[in-house]
Structure 1
Amino acid sequence: MYVDPLLLRHVQESSGLDAAQAQRLVQDVLAFHEESVEEWVRRRHAELKTYGAKNEAIFARLREELRQTVVAPPELSERQLRRIVYG
């Protein structure tokens, strides 16, 4: 798993952790948020359904929660990346 060196340095400096501890911490947090959007939506839908929520309320809640949830980005092709950059 790639970890941005600037993020590692920031975590080290702001927390007082040594390099190895900062690396483990960042990798653990990133692993926690490794779920794709599709996986996250399916999991949350099943969780909310378990508590008796109805789809209309579930989908509204999922939209709101996704605005604040970190999930793994989708895999983008080189063509998709180029379109983002160049339009």
Structure 2
Amino acid sequence: MQERRTDPDPLDELLDHLTRSTPLSRGEAHRVVLDVLAFYDETTEEWVRRRHRELQAKGLTNPAIFARISEELPHRAVAPPRLSLRQLRRLVYG
């Protein structure tokens, strides 16, 4: 009988850590990791547009929104290049 070879999940080390350090089961930890990865999978453009909508819904004005987005961008998991306020506006309005 030939042994089936399966490639290890690239997340195995992280999943092992999470199941050791939290009360999450392996399945729960896997779902959480996939959800976090999906959250950070947004492009800069998608993130800026989504963040603009969120802040606009809170009643902030565009000058305040673009200043805040400009401050928040460098703190994303993979920081994009610094964007000017004009570039931010163009991402939202084209």
Please give the range of the TM-score, normalised by the shorter of the 2 chains.
0.5 to 0.7
Q: Whole-Å Cα distance in 2 between the matches of residues 11 and 19 of structure 1?
A: 8
Task: Specify the SS of the correspondent of 2:27.
Answer: helix
Cα-to-partner distance string for 1:32-73 (whole Å, 9 max, x where unaligned): 333221101012223333424133x322210211233347x8
Structure 1 CA distance for aligned equivalents of residues 52 and 13 of structure 2: 35
- What TM-score does the superposition give when structure 1 sets the normalisation length? 0.58
Identity %: 49
Would you say how many aligned residue pairs link Structure 1 and Structure 2? 70
RMSD: 2.6
Ranges in structure 2 where 5+ consecutive residues have no aligned partner: 1-8, 81-94
Structure index of larger Rg: 2
- The Cα shift of 1:19 comes to 2.2
In the TM superposition, 1:1-87 aligns within 5 A as 4-50=11-57, 51-55=59-63, 57-70=64-77
